[in-house]
Amino acid sequence: MNNQPVILAIDQGTTSTRAILFSATLEILAVQQKELKLHYPHKGWVEQNPEAIWQDTLEVCHAVLEHNVSMVGSVAAIGITNQRETTILWDRKTGKPVYPAIVWQDRRTDIGCEQLKAQGYEPMVTARTGLLFDPYFSATKIAWILDNVEGVRSRAMRGELAFGTVDCYLLWHLTGGKVHATDVTNAARTLLFNIVEQKWDADLLTLFNIPETILPEVRDNAARFGMTDRILFGRGIPIGGMAGDQHAALIGQRCFRPGMVKSTYGTGCFALMNIGSDFKPSQHRLLTTPAYRLNGKMVYAIEGSIFIAGAAIQWLRDELEFFQEVAASDALALSVPDSNEVYFVPAFTGLGAPYWRPDVRGMISGLSRDTTRVHIVRAALEAQGYQTRDLMAAIEEDGGHHAEIIRVDGGLVANKFMCQFLADILNKPVEVPKITEATALGAAILAGLTVDLFADLEVTGCYWQRDKIYTPTITETERERLYAGWKAAVQSLLHASRN
């Protein structure tokens, strides 16, 4: 019988939805997971069904609690973390979405972003939001729904509709439609939230032609977000933590000191460095974003965003049918000494930082008669290292700190070849924690803070444990030779796409 308090973390990712029960000493007690479908109705469009997102969330929460009935009464708080930027508009009365969720990877608004850039607005937007014009962020997705789905703009103007990223949509449903709120990290990914003044920005709302009536209230990451509707779990449970998945992973990896870096390899890859309490716009086309805000005090991070990481391995599995399980890619990559000069640039949905080219698409180069599928698999895993290397020096310069070590997490870090290659190409040690579910862990920490299971963030540091460390093994000459090949491949792609 377990009478100790436990925390339920909901991690709604792009590829799957997870519910994880954590003990008060932050060990994983139980996990339930369900894969989520992506839909590609047109080239460059990526959508998900919001109702499936909510139903899957409820299903995994019920499953994890049903399998651990003794713990149901012990859930002290819920923490929510989520794929960011993905945009949902729904009817405040019925909860029904007015359109599918437009996923962060969706590129349908790239021309609109180009036009705004050409009109010279980008410096102002970067100074206020830390972001730049790219279809990645929510604002142009919201505007697209308002402008393209019949009747939606007038319903929004009448106050009938609510906008939210996935965290906000889940909170609304978990509280039975009572709370329309988000947290500062998710708000910061919309292009509408001023992260210096920490409020929705009236000029940006005008620029994107978005009515304020649809926006949620913005709260700290550890806050009383509301109680779950009794109908859902038989009793009201406080929702105490909320953060976008990359910010939650920074917390889960305990990167509490300026200069500490984590890189999460899930569907995409996102490397964040904690830069402390001063806002600094990037000089290298990276993003400045809230790391977290607690008791009203903001800590910022510099972020490098890579759109495709694990998704490339899934593509090899599902579309090319190279293997049945993504885990098989590890042994395959290790079965050859190198990638035989093959480079795989996984720009399926454009290139993110530092290139920001929504128009380009993926490329596999260097194919010859003796290329095998194994070389392509290896090149796809190596691409994760190269993409991270593209960001690291810029993150260090923007952040003003040398990163001694990189803490990694996410589904892909189960792949030993990928982790070793990352250490080799970055020329830095790569640390894998015992709990690689850093995202859910971060949400659990935030929820635990609100219900006083932890006095402050720092006390949770003692529960972080390293599982493995990968150290560089290749020579400088080899490292630079490999990286030069990657740079040449990316340049040829960028050049070909411009012509």
Ligand X SMILES: O=P(O)(O)OC[C@H](O)CO
Ligand Y SMILES: Nc1ncnc2c1ncn2[C@@H]1O[C@H](COP(=O)(O)OP(=O)(O)O)[C@@H](O)[C@H]1O
Tell whether residue 410 is a contact of ligand Y (CB under 6 A).
Answer: yes
Q: How far apart are CA 297 and CA 242, in angstroms?
A: 16
Q: How far apart are CB 494 and ligand Y at their closest, in Å?
A: 25
> Can you read off the two tokens belonging to residue 75?
């859930």
Q: If you search the block for the tokens 């190279």, which residue do you land on?
A: 322
Nearer to ligand X, 193 or 454 (CB): 193
Annotated binding site: 14-16, 18, 84-85, 136, 245-246, 267, 310, 314, 411, 415
Task: Write down the least CB distance from residue 268 to ligand X, Å.
Answer: 4
Contact (Cβ atoms closer than 8 angstroms) between residue 230 and residue 372:
no
Binding mask 255-284 for ligand Y (x = CB under 6 A): -----------xx-----------------
Spatial distance between the Cα atoms of 359 and 281, rounded to a whole number of angstroms: 25
164 binds ligand X (CB under 6 A): no
Q: Which is nearer to ligand Y, 288 or 384 (CB)?
A: 384
CA distances from 284 to 269, 280, 462 (A): 18, 12, 34
Stretch that binds ligand X, among 19-27, 142-150, 243-251, 345-353 (CB under 6 A): 243-251
Among 83, 109, 253, 289, binds ligand X (CB under 6 A): 83
Site for ligand Y in 284-343 (CB under 6 A): 310-311, 313-314, 326-327, 329-330
Residue 193 sits at φ, ψ, to 5 deg, of: -105, 125
Of the candidate residues 6, 7, 8, 13, the single one contacting ligand Y (CB under 6 A):
13
100 binds ligand X (CB under 6 A): no
- Residues making up the binding site for ADP: 14, 18, 267, 310, 411, 415
Nearer to ligand Y, 101 or 162 (CB): 101
Nearer to ligand X, 85 or 160 (CB): 85
CA pair distance 377, 387, nearest whole angstrom: 16
Number of residues that bind ligand Y (CB under 6 A): 19
To 10 degrees, what angle do helices 416-426 and 476-498 make? 100
Cβ–Cβ < 8 Å for 107, 51:
no
Taking the CB of residue 401, how many other CB atoms lie within 10 A of it?
19
Q: How many residues does the chain have?
A: 499
**Rounded to the nearest whole angstrom, what is the least distance from the CB of residue 498 to ligand Y in the complex?**
30
Among 28, 52, 363, 414, binds ligand Y (CB under 6 A): 414
Q: Which is nearer to ligand Y, 263 or 450 (CB)?
A: 263
Cβ(426)–Cβ(394) below 8 Å: no
| Closest to ligand X by CB, 310 or 448 | 310
Q: Which of 398, 314, 355, 389 is nearest to 495 (CA)?
A: 355
Question: Judged by CB under 6 A, which stretch of 22-30, 82-90, 93-101, 397-405 contacts ligand X?
Answer: 82-90
Each residue 29-68 as x (binds ligand X by CB under 6 A) or -, in order, gives: ----------------------------------------
Indicate whether 48 belongs to the interface with ligand Y (CB under 6 A): no
Contact partner at residue 128 from ligand Y, ligand X, none, CB < 5 to 8 Å by partner kind: none
Residues 210-239 close enough to bind ligand X by CB under 6 A: none
CB nearer to ligand Y: pick between 83 and 460:
83
Residue nearest to ligand Y (CB): 411
Q: Binding to ligand X by residue 141, rule CB under 6 A?
A: no
Residue bearing tokens 């260090």: 396
**Interacting partner of 85 out of ligand X, ligand Y, none (Cβ under 5 to 8 A depending on kind):** ligand X
- The residue within the footprint of ligand X, chosen from 267, 282, 339, 388 (CB under 6 A), is 267
Work out how close the CB of 184 gets to ligand X at its nearest, in angstroms, rounded to a whole number.
15
- Is 16 near ligand Y (CB under 6 A)? yes
From 1-9, 412-420, 421-429, 454-462, span contacting ligand Y (CB under 6 A)? 412-420
Please say which residue, 260 or 312, places its beta carbon nearer to ligand Y. Answer: 312
> Distance between CA 110 and CA 117 in Å, rounded?
11
Q: Which residues are annotated as a binding site for ATP?
A: 14-16, 267, 310, 314, 411
Which is nearer to ligand Y, 310 or 346 (by Cβ)?
310
Partner from ligand X, ligand Y, none binding residue 411, C-beta < 5-8 Å depending on class: ligand Y
Binding stretches for ligand Y (CB under 6 A): 13-16, 266-267, 310-311, 313-314, 326-327, 329-330, 410-412, 414-415
Binding stretches for ligand X (CB under 6 A): 13-14, 83-85, 104, 244-246, 266-268
